[in-house]
Amino acid sequence: MLGRKRIRRGPGKRWVDGKSLRLAEEVRYIQHRASEHDGRFITLGALVLFSTDTGDAWLLDPADRLAVRLARDGDPGPIHIEETETSFAIGWKGHYDIEGPAFVYTDDESGRVVTILGYPTHRIAQLG
């Protein structure tokens, strides 16, 4: 369970207090589900992690539309997480939007825009 949010503005980092939370464990779990091509949807306080039967996995912050891909076609990808006993920071890679059934991801570094169908966009949109 997450406590109060403490936002630290900076390049792609957001700090969130949460004494009983182990974000890195949840990320490893959802990456494993993606490697098994097993669709899951997890809400973790203000964050969302999901995997798909196509082997993709993402970590999202619906409030700020931040996103980082955790796996693609079952292969886990790199993610930067700094975690202490009471907080964590995430190295966000881009932003997302939901356009009907489409998940639209914009990579902040390259500016590349990817549109993906088949994700749980209805559930994601309900959280934003």
pLDDT, tens digit (0-9, with 9 covering 90-100), for 52-101 = 999 999 999 999 999 999 999 999 999 999 888 778 899 999 999 999 99
Confidence (pLDDT) at 83: 83
Q: Is 25 helix (H, G, I), strand (E, B) or coil?
A: helix
Q: What is the mean pLDDT of residues 20-43?
A: 91
Which uninterrupted H or E stretch holds 126?
A: helix 121-127
Q: What is the mean pLDDT of residues 35-59?
A: 95
Q: Is the pTM of this model over 0.85?
A: no
d(CA 81, CA 72): 18
Confidence (pLDDT) at 84: 81
Sign of the torsion formed by the C-alpha atoms of 98, 73, 70 and 92: negative
**Contact in structure between 68 and 76 (CB atoms under 8 Å):** no
Whether residue 14 has pLDDT greater than 70: no
Confidence (pLDDT) at 21: 59
Torsion of CA 57, 61, 66, 69, to 10 degrees: -10
